[in-house]
Amino acid sequence: MNPTYLLDTNVVSHIMQGRDKELLARLEKLPVGQVALSSVTLAEIEYGLHRRAQSAKLRQALQQVLLHMDVLAWDAPAATCYGELCSSLEAQGIYPHPEQLLSIEIW
């Protein structure tokens, strides 16, 4: 099943922190497989958790969130596109931070 909704880092973070209980309630009603996050988004969330000293509560929240959605892999075509994009930007004298490039969702 292809997901209907692809959540970004900010949305997942808001859900984990309990900032949007209405959204969480709506997501819990959807079947698993309709909501997803990319492996890049999960990596960004993990990075944030590892940077925080008191992340046990947020780690538990992430585990609960992941029960309701799939994590989509960053596949070979996405990696190829990433390489092409980096090269193209460099040729134009643009050097974005690697995390900015990795967070571009390629679907």
In tens digits, the chain (107 residues) has pLDDT values of 688 889 988 899 988 888 888 887 888 888 888 999 988 888 888 888 888 776 788 999 999 888 888 898 877 787 777 778 777 888 888 877 666 666 554 44
Residues 6+ apart with CB under 8 A from 35: 3, 4, 5, 7, 27, 68, 69, 70
d(CA 64, CA 58): 10
Nearest Cα residue to 27 out of 58, 66, 54, 60: 66
Say what the pLDDT of residue 43 is.
83
Torsional sign, CA 43, 45, 47, 50: negative
